[in-house]
Structure 1
């Protein structure tokens, strides 16, 4: 009898462990996921090394990003080679923990920017770096570092349906939609590339806040 009970313990522990991993993967996929901020393109809203929580649930309900949302999205093609992204050596097993959602994602395939225009909006930029959406100024948040315009040449584009025009809050140091105006879609990204909306900074403790 004792041998049978002893044999059940490892099986139960294995079942609990597998169940915990499955639940973690489900939460990561359908509820929320953590991401690390790799560059200064969203400074001061988000600083290098900040950890943010991203709502991955809304995309499964068909909810589309809106103007003003801070979104994480996968590289739609050629963006990361322009974005200055510090690399970290990490530690053994970090990739596994990130895949399980127990550590922020560090796969180097994601970017984070603010949505300033959606399908049907007209975006205009002048030589001074000022951006207007449907004639209304799309100014960065207060306290954003001043700097030269990312796109020196004036532009005017209409965002195609199902796409988003995104900018970094640090307008002078962000390889955003302005740097990809010649991508055939006026610099916009597809809705389907969006992983989710960032809704809170959770690390370090001094930076805790909602977005």
Structure 2
């Protein structure tokens, strides 16, 4: 017997291929010991439940870290400095897409930024202490400490003055109409110095250096912000320039008040900032 005579199962070119049994998918042909053709069906190996659970948790963790790093992050309001719009313990979401690349915060944006140094008391800088909360904070599911939320009043090149005869801040010569979101808290103007709620002492700042912003809380008389960091005439240890926040410290822009649910709203830039002219060259 030649090698060509030994039980070959190949199909010649002029033979018709066999069809599968009714209702069965066609698979690879094999020959059983009795010469009967059978179809071998491929089976996909399924992971045990505990392995699938670990895999899904791992994927969810990676997605959470990616989302926090590049897109959205949760924070809470730690003080009364942004009243009346944002109050103590409100939960907010910030988005980071607007500041990708060379884009920088704009006038009127409400931003979250890292403490430039000495703006927050140690308690507010510590962050969560519970181990579970620490892990959740790492992946963006729980607010972290050491951050502030304020409104951008001026950007690089701007000059800000306080105030006109109606108590309004002036940016590049344009008064800001801020009645819709500012709480004066007993102050006579929208830009009180920390010890001058009567607003008798006028002040100005700028031009703001490149790569920096000037920020203020909406609750103007109860906010540790850029106006509080400005050097006053009787101070001897104040460092000029500490009132400006480096843009590199900005984490993102507030775009939604998430909780409590009955106060849910989207946050947008006030129209008054659209009238501010570019700084003079």
TM-score (norm 2): 0.65
Alpha-carbon contact 1:140-1:169 (below 8 Å) kept: no
Which deviates more, 126-135 or 152-161? 126-135
Matched, 1:137 2:211: no
Matched, 1:155 2:203: yes
Alpha-carbon contact 1:140-1:171 (below 8 Å) kept: no
| Distance in 2 between residues matched to 1:140 and 1:200, nearest whole Å | 20
Choose from 201, 208, 211 the match for 2:257: 201
Distance 1:138 1:127, change over 3 A: closer
Give the equivalent residue in structure 1 for 2:149: 112
Matched, 1:176 2:215: no
Once the two structures are superposed, residues 127-169 of structure 1 have per-residue CA deviations (whole angstroms, 9 ceiling, x without a partner) of 9964211122234342633323234343222111111011111
Distance 1:51 1:154, change over 3 A: same
Once the two structures are superposed, residues 48-74 of structure 1 have per-residue CA deviations (whole angstroms, 9 ceiling, x without a partner) of 111111012233333211101000000
| Distance in 2 between residues matched to 1:144 and 1:112, nearest whole Å | 15
Distance 1:86 1:142, change over 3 A: farther
Distance 1:21 1:59, change over 3 A: same
Matched, 1:93 2:132: yes
Matched, 1:15 2:55: yes
| Distance in 1 between residues matched to 2:213 and 2:104, nearest whole Å | 10
Distance 1:131 1:28, change over 3 A: same
Matched, 1:69 2:94: no
Alpha-carbon contact 1:38-1:86 (below 8 Å) kept: no
Give the equivalent residue in structure 2 for 1:34: 74
Alpha-carbon contact 2:230-2:243 (below 8 Å) kept: yes
Alpha-carbon contact 1:168-1:176 (below 8 Å) kept: yes
Q: How many residues align?
A: 204
Give me the CA root mean square deviation.
2.8
Choose from 51, 55, 61 the match for 2:95: 55
Distance 1:89 1:187, change over 3 A: closer
Q: Of the two structures, which has the highest relative contact order with CA contacts closer than 8 Å and spacing of 6 or more?
A: 1
Alpha-carbon contact 1:33-1:55 (below 8 Å) kept: yes
The 5 A counterparts of 1:185-200 are 185=241, 187-200=243-256
Alpha-carbon contact 2:65-2:139 (below 8 Å) kept: yes
Shift >4 Å, 4+ stretches: 5-8, 84-92, 126-130
Once the two structures are superposed, residues 105-124 of structure 1 have per-residue CA deviations (whole angstroms, 9 ceiling, x without a partner) of 132x0000000110000011
| Distance in 2 between residues matched to 1:139 and 1:79, nearest whole Å | 27
